[in-house]
Chains A and B, each alone.
Chain A
Amino acid sequence: MKKNGDREVFSFEKGIERLEQIINNLDQNNVQLEQALDLFGEGIELIKQCNGLLDSAEAKVKVLLENSKGELVVTDQD
């Protein structure tokens, strides 16, 4: 559940979405220099985070079962 909370802060999908926004904003002719530099900085940070997600993701195949008490049990698949 805690993990779930973390993911709401940053997900690959949200990162890419924001990157698209940033690039569009940088395309505007009237973008202020300071704003442009802030956007660029944010974009670079997002790219780092997205790469990080891909690097750190560990692919696992798990099995989700319910035990006799009705609790959820997750086991790694061999």
Chain B
Amino acid sequence: MTEKILTVSEINREINDALKKHNGLWNCWVTGEISNFKDHIPSGHWYFTLKDKEAGIKTVMFKTRNLTAGFQPQNGMKVSIRGSIRLYEKDGSVQLYAEEIYPSGLGALYLAFEQLKSRLAAEGLFAAEKKKPIPRFPSRVAIVTSSTGAALKDILHIARRRNPLVSLIIVPSAVQGEAAPGEIARAIQRANHYGEIDLLIVGRGGGSLEELWAFNTEEVARAIAASSIPVVSAVGHEVDYTIADFVADLRAPTPSAAAELVIPVLNELQDGICYYEEKLTQRIQSVLRTKRHKVEELMSNSALARPGWRVEQSRQNLDYLSTRLVEGMTGFLTEKNGILRLLSAKIDLLSPLNILGRGYSLAYDIEGKLIKTVRQAAAGDALSVRLSDGTLICEVIDTIKLQASSDSNVKRGLP
């Protein structure tokens, strides 16, 4: 045999090399229907067969890729996939290794949407600091939309109901079809040139992704970004997100919601003014009250306000001091009085007159000498005896000396 015999590994490697050489297979778009879908747990890789009426190809989308898919594939779903065709050498099957996946038909649109979105985001068009503040009380609101659409009717109706005094300026524009992006962009510019406009609503009612597409174009995005009037986007239904929503200064979920968000209710404005008027009056009254209190306080405290006050105060001090003085002096005197009384009582006790009061007497001889012993007098002598209340003149009849035995008693009585 001239032909070389290859092992399975060798032939698979050859096949893989052949596939790699084919650029169209290495990076290609494939469209088809999902069948036999398996979300492998725990790896998170997706395995399914992509098929059309006649054929099928095994497809793998690794977790790192399918995380950004933005939707969950289901059997029967038509999808467009970008990826590469390679051989899985273990079982020799040719597989599509998916990099990106989009619901079919819309695939191209989604792709364009994502690409434009990331490009404009990188340019900073969606940055929060670029957002202009939405005026709280706009008096002139312009609406860029179709003059025949339901969106305009909704906005006009709600705006009228909320505040019949806000002027509305319709800037008509096609909102779907080939001409729509250019018309919307020019309408935004027109509103800016007109001046006098406080706020711009740009939008349309609900529709399919294709119908809303104008609001996903770069032309409209750039016109919104360039507007010097704040822009509120109001495209489709609540679930629809367009590039215009990301660029706009405020996204309203629907056109009706835009009117609700930006048109202030007239009654509330009037109530607001009343509220401020009330507050203002309250505040000035409170200021005046505070000032008056301050004046009153000063009046009652100030020496200036009552010139006599200081004198009165001095007088009062003086009164106080004199009272204290009298009290002190009285106290002092009372105390001295007590001592005096005590002393005189003591003196009384010592006075011989006091002793006489208790029944004792003093005897003097004719010469006035105090008789202290019987030996100083003899019978017939005249004596004067001093009592407490007078004197007796007496004659001594006899002298009797006490016995020696009672000497000790006498000695005790006379120191």
- A50 → chain B, closest Cβ, in Å? 5
* Contact for B139 among A31, A33, A57, CB less than 8 A: A57
* Contact for B284 among A4, A19, A26, A54, CB less than 8 A: A26
**Interface size counted on chain B using CB atoms at 8 A:** 41
What is the count of residue pairs linking A and B with beta-carbon distances less than 8 angstroms? 107
> Is B29 an interface residue when CB atoms closer than 8 A count as contact?
no
Cα distance A39–B142 in the bound complex, in angstroms:
36
Contacts A33-B291, A63-B169 hold; do A54 and B266 have CB atoms under 8 A apart? yes
List the one stretch of B160-168, B238-246, B332-340, B382-390 in contact with chain A.
B160-168
**Interface size counted on chain A using CB atoms at 8 A:** 41
Cα distance A65–B136 in the bound complex, in angstroms:
27
Secondary structure call for the A interface: helix
Residues of B101-150 at the interface with A, using a CB-CB cut-off of 8 Å, are 135-137, 139, 142, 147
Q: Which residues of B contact A60 (CB under 8 A)?
A: 167-168
B180-204 CB contact bits vs A (8 Å, 1 = yes)? 0000001000110111100000000
Q: Which residues of A contact B276 (CB under 8 A)?
A: 16, 19-20, 23, 43, 47
Cα distance A33–B136 in the bound complex, in angstroms:
33
List the one stretch of B45-53, B267-275, B360-368 in contact with chain A.
B267-275
> Is B287 an interface residue when CB atoms closer than 8 A count as contact?
yes
> Is B369 an interface residue when CB atoms closer than 8 A count as contact?
no
Interface residues, chain B, CB within 8 Å of chain A?
Answer: 135-137, 139, 142, 147, 156, 160, 163-172, 186, 190-191, 193-196, 266, 269-270, 272-273, 276-277, 279-280, 283-284, 286-288, 290-291
Interface residues, chain A, CB within 8 Å of chain B?
Answer: 1, 3-4, 7, 11-13, 16, 19-20, 22-23, 26-27, 29, 31, 33, 36-37, 39-40, 43-44, 47, 50-51, 53-54, 57-66, 72, 74, 77
